[in-house]
A and B are shown apart, each in its own frame.
Chain A
């Protein structure tokens, strides 16, 4: 179904090839996992498989990639998509229509299918992925798991023989990951070949037949899944764990304190203007040096709590206290910081050094700023990148820089929203180190994460938000 023969590919203007001399074969009904540290060339393989490289991205290709026996060079990406559907990390970014039904039909419409055929294909793929009840829903109101399913259904409407999945679990919670694994297993049973690129490994055990470990663009190791049981190999290539315990049940609850002279909220009541009540009389007290996992179902209000505690939302009632003093919503950024899921939005200066200097403005005396910024760069492993433009950094580097920028302001409360989404094992461990350091420096950390592998060694306790009740169990 998919065959790479001595493929070497360089992006235009790049000094070195992104992948070099890669060969493998994937038969119908087989699944292959490709992993490796960030920037090792995994995503480039997906772009070679779906024809975006070199048709769309240009560059220099040697060797050949074939999909269903046809050279990818001989077909356009749109033609190849009929044989090889590609699922991106963030499905929302690949939606073009505004409702689920339209999204499933759009690709077929664009290809000139007649209305009856479209209806049949949409109904079949919607049934296969279990999204037939949400065909009228807007694509933007779906959960991440549902978006993933809709994107998959849209690909399957073309009935491709190969699915190329680029970090499909990066935004999913453990339950949605398990569902995705089941869906993919069912597709594999139907003869669909799967080429999966991911940092998270544990969910592919039992699903994939072959594992390809890439390093610096070349195949470093190849074998069945048991290859990844080798801990030194995982360490060497910056990979994540293969067995991940679920710490959500075993983590102790955040202790209930009557009051805190560090950081607290009292009787917070909040409802969105057109939504239901999210919190009613919520009181929480936080202690310094702790890393608390904020746990709850989708819609429980995890992000809303983070926004309230950092002043991005104003509660209808109640107050937030820093050192027993009630702080106005507008002034909360001085005491509480949040690193948003999309760290790139928080970076605005021309270099990493300038970014930290700017973040320290107003909280660190001007004469100390350069030395403090330097110290943070060293602590967070950013010193080699001091002159790089923040927007040119990799995802992991951006995340670390955003955390450093938040920490340099010396907040009492530091909240991180999915800080490890899309990070490889090495960067995930660096992030864990950064968070422990911030906690050791006296901040209280609240982490919103679906990443069990990250939660397990980093979080010391949990705060559970039950769905829709507005109550908080501690």
Chain B
């Protein structure tokens, strides 16, 4: 909490100069279910990447490499669209 700004330090009107803030903010903390990706079952169809509403499927050289848990909200869309059940939703246990 210590790095939060005081009201005097905020830009007028709550504007964020520079824009594009997702990298600066970890927004995945309130997820109740966590998607677990199985590299073995995955056929790299990229349906999960296409459907993820929060850009949280990590990709490298056009291949899924994992899930960005700092931004994933646990909506489960990726698990729903996966044709091979390669993504499983498991309850978060706070670890």
Chain A partners chain B: no
